[in-house]
Amino acid sequence: MSLRFLGIWPNTPDDGSPTIWLDDETGDLVIQSWKADDETVRQAQQVGSVPGHSTAVPPHETVIRLPANMLQFIPRPVSEVNGGNSGT
């Protein structure tokens, strides 16, 4: 795995701040962020996703809350960045 640092919470203190990396080999995002609180997890389970899919969070997964200002660090396809097809 080859991680590339993308960004960290602006004006971060020295510890425990949301951070995002890109795995250059797989394209996966690796995110350190705040664990969602119990109410957020309950709401996510209530909303669900794909019909019939379990809403339980398995032991090897967690629900995180990514602050909106961290979205700026998520890579976009070159076509999107350069004014590519907007889907209209």
Cα four-point dihedral sign 86, 71, 41, 32: positive
**Mean pLDDT, the chain, whole residue set:** 86
What pLDDT, on a 0 to 100 scale, did the predictor assign at position 79?
Answer: 75
Three-point CA angle 20, 22, 25, nearest 5°: 160
Name the pTM for this structure. 0.71
What pLDDT, on a 0 to 100 scale, did the predictor assign at position 43?
Answer: 94
List CB contacts of 62: < 8 A, sequence separation 6 or more.
35, 36
What pLDDT, on a 0 to 100 scale, did the predictor assign at position 84?
Answer: 54
Show the low-confidence residues of the chain (pLDDT under 70). 80-88
